[in-house]
C-alpha cells in the first residue's frame, strides 16, 4: 500500500545532542510537510517543501532544519534539542497545494529529550 | 488571521449515542474545511472534507456541512461505537495558502460500552 513512513517511531536524545528524524513516502507526492505536535495540542506546521522549494514558517525556530534529497525522502534535523522540543513530529504529504488537497500523515516520531 | 475554534473535550458518550462536535472558523474568502481523526499513538487520518459552501462531507457514518453563513463545520454521527474513541481535529486550508492546514485544538471523544 502507498504510504507515509516515519523512522524511528520513538527517539530519545540528550539535551543539546543533534537528532535527525526521517520520513519517506511511496505516494510520489510533490508536497511534504513537517508538523510538531505537543501533548494534547494541535499539530503546528514547521515547514513544507513543494518539490525542492523549501518554505519555512515564520515562527519556526532556527534550531530546526530540513532536507529533501529527492521526492521520496525528507529529513528533520534538530541541531540542539531543548527540553521544550519534546513532542510528536508528524510528516505529511500532498499531491498539490490547492486548498482542497488531502494531506496524508505518517504515524509520527515521538521525541524525548533528557 | 485565520483560526479554527472547536469545542473542548473530553466528550464522554455511551455506545450508540449521538455525537456532535462544534467547529467554527475565521478566514477570508472560501477556505476548504476538514475533519481529521487521530487514534491513540497514531498519525492523523482524513475523516471528511468540504471545499465549498453547502457541501456535505461524509465518511464512516460521520457528516459535516460547510455553512458559510455561520462559518461552521460541525461534525455529527448518529450512533457512536467504542472504536470511535479518538481525538478529532477540525482544520481549514485557506485560499492561496499552499495547502497548509490550520488546526483547531482537538476534541477528545471517549465512547464507553
The pLDDT tens digits along chain A (114 residues) read 669 999 999 999 999 999 999 999 999 999 999 999 998 888 999 999 999 888 899 899 999 999 999 999 999 999 999 999 999 999 999 988 777 788 999 999 999 999
Q: Taking 90 as the threshold, does the pLDDT of residue B70 lie above it?
A: yes
**Which of B43, B49, B98 has the CB atom closest to A48's CB atom?**
B98
| A107, closest residue in chain B (CA to CA) | B43
Q: Taking 70 as the threshold, does the pLDDT of residue B47 lie above it?
A: yes
Task: Reduce the secondary structure of chain B to three states and give it as a string.
Answer: CCEEEECCCCEEEECCCCEEECEEEECCCCCEEEEEEECCCCCEEEEEEECCCCCEEEECCEEEECECCCCECCEEECCCCHHHCEEEEEEEECCCCCCCCEECCCEEEEEEC
The more confidently predicted of residues B66 and B42 is: B66
Inter-chain CB proximity A99 and B106 less than 8 Å: no
Cell of A25: 513516502
Is the Cβ of A96 closer than 8 Å to some Cβ of chain B?
yes
Strand partners, A31: A50, A94
How many CB atoms are located within 10 Å of the residue B54 CB?
Answer: 10
Could you say which residues from 7 to 66 on chain B have a Cβ atom under 8 Å away from some Cβ of chain A?
31-32, 34, 36, 41-46, 49, 51
Cell of B14: 455511551
Q: Give the model's confidence band at B42: pLDDT under 50 very low, under 70 low, under 90 confident, else very high.
A: confident
Of the residues A54, A88, A100, A101, the best mutation for testing chain B's interface (the one with the most B CB atoms within 10 Å of its CB) is A100
Amino acid at each position: 500500500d502507498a504510504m507515509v513512513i516515519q523512522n524511528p517511531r520513538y527517539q530519545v536524545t540528550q539535551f543539546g545532542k543533534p537528532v535527525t528524524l526521517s520520513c519517506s513516502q511511496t505516494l510520489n507526492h510533490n508536497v511534504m510537510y513537517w508538523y510538531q505536535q505537543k501533548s494534547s495540542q494541535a499539530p503546528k506546521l514547521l515547514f513544507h517543501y513543494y518539490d525542492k522549494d523549501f518554505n519555512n514558517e515564520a515562527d519556526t525556530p532556527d534550531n530546526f532544519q530540513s532536507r529533501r534529497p529527492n521526492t521520496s525522502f525528507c529529513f528533520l534535523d534538530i541541531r540542539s534539542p531543548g527540553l521544550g522540543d519534546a513532542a510528536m513530529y508528524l510528516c505529511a504529504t500532498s499531491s498539490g497545494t490547492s486548498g482542497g488537497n488531502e494531506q496524508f500523515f505518517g504515524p509520527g516520531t515521538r521525541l524525548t529529550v533528557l | 488571521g485565520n483560526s479554527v475554534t472547536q469545542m473542548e473535550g473530553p466528550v464522554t458518550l455511551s455506545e450508540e449515542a449521538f455525537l456532535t462536535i462544534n467547529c467554527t472558523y475565521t478566514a477570508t474568502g472560501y477556505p476548504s474545511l476538514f475533519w481529521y481523526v487521530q487514534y491513540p499513538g497514531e498519525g492523523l487520518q482524513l475523516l471528511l472534507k468540504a471545499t465549498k459552501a453547502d457541501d456535505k462531507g461524509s465518511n464512516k457514518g460521520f457528516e459535516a456541512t460547510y455553512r458559510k453563513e455561520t462559518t461552521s463545520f460541525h461534525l455529527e454521527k448518529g450512533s457512536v461505537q467504542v472504536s470511535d474513541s479518538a481525538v478529532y481535529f477540525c482544520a481549514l486550508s485557506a485560499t492561496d495558502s499552499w495547502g497548509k492546514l490550520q488546526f483547531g485544538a482537538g476534541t477528545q471523544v471517549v465512547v464507553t460500552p
